[in-house]
Amino acid sequence: MRPKNLPKVLIFLFLAGLLMGQVARTQFSNPATSASTVPQAQLMQPTELVRLLKGSGAEQPVVFQVGSFVMFQQAHIPNAGFAGPGSQPNGIILLNKFAAPLKKNQFIVIYCGCCPWNRCPNIGPAYKQLRDLGFTNVKALYLANNFGDDWVAKGYPTARGE
Amino acid sequence: MRTAKVSAWLTCAAMLWAAGVQAQKPKESTSPGILHRTAPEFVRADLAGRSIDLKSYRGKVVLLNFWATWCAPCQIELPKFDAWQKKYSAQGLQVLAVSMDDGDAPVRRTVRRLRLDFPIVMGDAKLGDEYGGVLGLPVTFLIDREGRVVAKLKGETDLAALESQVKQLLAK
């Protein structure tokens, strides 16, 4: 190799390394089902849900946690139902079961908070499933980091156990 | 001219790298919680059926990682931890992992796929509570040779920084 080509080769190797790192990071995040597939307009901020939960019965949504049961047992939003991880077939089956008796215009809020929002594997599939089932008023709770940081640590209402 | 071009490329590359590092910067817990306290003890069977007693690792530096098969950042960290286990074992590092999955079947599949060779136990809400609430993954604790929790890292870890912390603890 001629020495004058060395900088180009080094830059190529450096950029290739960056690209491979990015590929590794996104390997387990399926863009087709990631949380980013939930339309912006269908996201709900935690403060908004807290306000709704304190409000009258008429505007109270049905809340489903669509993530890990172990995490649900540690802490969850009061009266939320555990609907199973949206990324797994058994989670979708459970979600179907819980959603079956509801009217199609029922106000539903789903949340997970297992991982940072852009890495959450559960919210996207659960949202899609509810939409595919014909539910017209579904929102996804936007938890930027996780349920611990963005809900529990902020002192919002939580319940424990099953 | 050529030097200017090379400089421009290098600047771009450095900016890309910096952006990437910033985007994946982990959050090191600042809440008191269990930091600087003796790590909550546990005795659990690992996936191979061996009894894993945290107390028995006193004298070693323990990297205790909470993870799950559906957690994307976890899948990136685990092979690195496995490599560190091999690399630093002689210096006294012990990697332990706690899966927060709801069942062990997917865990076994992932362990086989990633060829992980360190003890992995199944976690639950009780263990999560004892470690200050594991309500987001991954979470990694560093436990010093005296059994004290000296670091809690939440989210995707800056592996270079974590390795540096591990080496510092091993040197003590």
Residue B2: inside a domain: no
Crossing angle, helix A6-26 and helix B2-23, to 10 degrees? 20
Q: Could you tell me if A125 and A36 are in contact, meaning their C-beta atoms sit under 8 angstroms apart?
A: no
Query: pLDDT per residue over B73-105, tens digit each?
Result: 899 999 999 999 999 999 999 999 999 998 999
Report which DSSP code applies to A152: G
Q: What would the 3-class secondary structure string for B58-122 be? A: CCCEEEEEEECCCCHHHHHHHHHHHHHHHHHHHHCEEEEEEECCCCCHHHHHHHHHHCCCCCEEE
- Given CA atoms B113, B119, B123, B129 in this order, what sign does their dihedral have? negative
Q: How far apart are CA B145 and CA A137, in angstroms?
A: 53
| Domain count for chain B | 1
Residue B126: inside a domain: yes
CATH number assigned to the domain comprising residue B135: 3.40.30.10
Chain B residues with CB-CB distance to A71 below 8 A: 100, 125, 128, 134-135
Mean per-residue pLDDT for B7-34? 51
What pLDDT is stored for residue A124 in this prediction? 96
Query: pLDDT per residue over B136-149, tens digit each?
Result: 999 999 999 999 99
Confidence band, pLDDT 50/70/90 cuts, at residue A34? confident
Residue B12: inside a domain: no
Residue B97: inside a domain: yes
Chain B residues with CB-CB distance to A7 below 8 A: 6, 9
How distant is the Cα of B70 from the closest Cα of chain A, in angstroms? 7
Q: Is B6 on the interface with A (CB under 8 A)?
A: yes
Residue B110: inside a domain: yes
Residue B1: inside a domain: no
Q: Is A74 on the interface with B (CB under 8 A)?
A: yes
Chain A residues with CB-CB distance to B135 below 8 A: 71, 74-75, 113, 146-149, 152
Full domain range(s) for residue B77? 27-171
Report which DSSP code applies to B38: B
Tokens, residue B124 = 């639950």
Please name which of B113, B140, B70, B81 lies closest in space to residue A29, comparing C-alpha atoms. B70
Query: pLDDT per residue over A52-84, tens digit each?
Result: 999 877 779 999 999 999 999 999 999 999 999
How distant is the Cα of B53 from the closest Cα of chain A, in angstroms? 21
**What are the b/e assignments for A128-153, b being 16+ CB within 10 Å?**
bbbeeeebeebbbbbbebbbbbbbbe
Crossing angle, helix A123-132 and helix A89-99, to 10 degrees? 40
Residue B19: inside a domain: no
Q: Does the distance separating the beta carbons of B136 and A114 come in below 8 Å?
A: yes
Tokens, residue A63 = 């809340």
Kindly state the percentage of chain B with pLDDT values over 70: 81
ipTM greater than 0.90:
no
Residue B131: inside a domain: yes
Mean per-residue pLDDT for A125-141? 97
Q: Does the distance separating the beta carbons of A68 and B101 come in below 8 Å?
A: yes
